[in-house]
Amino acid sequence: MTRLFPLRVWTMIFATTTLLLVVLPVLHLAVPEASSLHVSSFWITLIGKFMCYAIVALAMDLIWGYTGILSLGQGVFFALGGYACGMYLMRQIGRDGVYQSDLPDFMVFLDWKEFPWYWALSDSFLGTVVLIVAVPGLVAFIFGFFAFRSRIKGVYFSIITQALTYAAMLAFFRNDMGFGGNNGFTDFKRILGIPITAPETRTALYVMSGLTLLGALVLARWIIASKFGRVLTAIRDQESRLMFLGYRTIYFKLAIWTLAAVLSGIAGALYVPQVGIINPSEMSPANSIEVAIWAAVGGRGTLFGPLLGAFAVSGAKTWFTVAYPELWLYFLGLLFVVVTLLLPRGLMGLADTLRGRSAGAATRSAALETGAQEAGS
């Protein structure tokens, strides 16, 4: 049986997991705030948010890096999962709102008398979990079925997915949709009856994000190493030849497309309680384009590359939007151009190139030393 990862990769995963999911939470909860070793809530929230982004980047890698489907609409599925979680969190507020009503404040303000029918399962945690998985998955399945059956691919598919995310954003901006309009959901109080701002709650959400990322990575590696994964790679490289051999490629593409949407929805659900807000801006086409940039910068078709790209680009965005907010979009555009022209395999490709050069130099040095010894004898 083939290993999912080589031993050195498992060692790296174990070290990274221990640092992120054991060391940092302990430094956050057990070390006093006055200590220089204390990890603040800001960093726990920030890294937790980056891990949610990394899950979306991994989902993008499955459909773009391995299947050749460039989607510019992953932000829709991320936001749908976030809204499903947000509905549950809004119900957890209860009568602690401004109007002291069972309905959220924005519904009372708009003179709503009861919850819409599509809020039905959001009153329970398990029902919300069903919504988080089912809603993005169902939307992706329906959209993908008609798109793939019509053999829409390439740039045309990318444009349609971008139109999808833009249409969804405009729809969610409407107050009569029952999702808070342009303000969305915010001011969350509790989750499972526990104060959402408590350090223990933030740490638990942070650890859940990390474990979900690790689980998604192992699942993705298992898929890529299987026959199903080899078919996906063949679809990327030569779909017409695969169809000639009798494969119904529509079902393979639909399966991985739906799975990527579900992963993005789960990431959105973990993201919302950590940042404390969800609104239609999460569906903006620019956000979906950023997801593609994460995969491209890190190195698509590598699994680890998109994770690296999500952390690197999101970290740069965090710094730029504070220090030089007017320069961020220019930097992002320049970064994409540089990666496209000079680093087609992304940061992972650069690391492989440097490692190859180092190995080549060592081999040449050993050969010269051996030659010198033979000449001396």
Q: Is residue 362 part of a domain?
A: no
Q: Is residue 338 part of a domain?
A: no
Mean pLDDT of 211-227: 96
The better pLDDT of the pair 338, 232 is held by 232
What pLDDT does 363 receive? Answer: 55
**Axis crossing angle, helix 346-376 with helix 285-298, rounded to the nearest 10:** 10
DSSP characters over 65-128: ITT----S-HHHHHHHHHHHHHHHHHHHHGGGSTT--SS-HHHHHTT--S--GGGGGGGSHHHH
Write the pLDDT tens digit of every residue in 245-292.
889 999 999 999 999 999 999 999 999 999 999 999 999 999 999 999
* Domain count within the chain: 1
Q: How long a stretch of residues is the chain?
A: 377
**Domain ranges, residue 247:** 7-306
Q: Is residue 371 part of a domain?
A: no
Residue type for position 2 = T
- Collect all residues with Cβ–Cβ distance below 8 Å to 297 and sequence separation of at least 6: 309, 312, 313, 335, 336, 339, 346, 347
Mean pLDDT of 174-201: 92
Say how far apart CA 42 and CA 202 lie, in whole Å.
10
Say how far apart CA 224 and CA 62 lie, in whole Å.
8
Mean pLDDT of 183-188: 92
Mean pLDDT of the chain: 90
Q: Is residue 85 part of a domain?
A: yes
Write the pLDDT tens digit of every residue in 58-105.
999 999 999 999 999 999 999 999 999 999 999 998 878 777 788 898
Write the pLDDT tens digit of every residue in 352-364.
666 665 555 555 5
Say how far apart CA 171 and CA 177 lie, in whole Å.
7
Task: Report the b/e string of 304-338 with b at 16+ CB within 10 A.
Answer: bbbbbbbbbbbeebeebeeeeeeebeeebeebbee
What are the beta bridge partners of residue 190? 195
Q: Is residue 153 part of a domain?
A: yes
What are the beta bridge partners of residue 179? none
Mean pLDDT of 106-121: 90
Q: Is residue 324 part of a domain?
A: no
Please tell me the least confidently modeled range out of 137-151, 171-185, 210-224, 333-347: 333-347
CA atoms within 13 A on the CB side of 311: 9
Per residue, the 3-state secondary structure of 134-178, as one string, reads HHHHHHHHHHHHHHHHCCCCCHHHHHHHHHHHHHHHHHHHCHHHC
Report CA Rg, the chain.
Answer: 23
Q: Which two tokens stand for residue 14?
A: 């174990």
Please tell me the least confidently modeled range out of 171-180, 310-319, 351-360: 351-360
Residue type for position 102 = D
Residue 1 confidence class, pLDDT cut points 50, 70, 90: very low
Q: Is residue 100 part of a domain?
A: yes
DSSP characters over 348-374: HHHHHHHHHHHHHHHHHHHHHHHHHHH
Pick from 242, 56, 34: nearest CA to 136: 56
Q: Is residue 376 part of a domain?
A: no
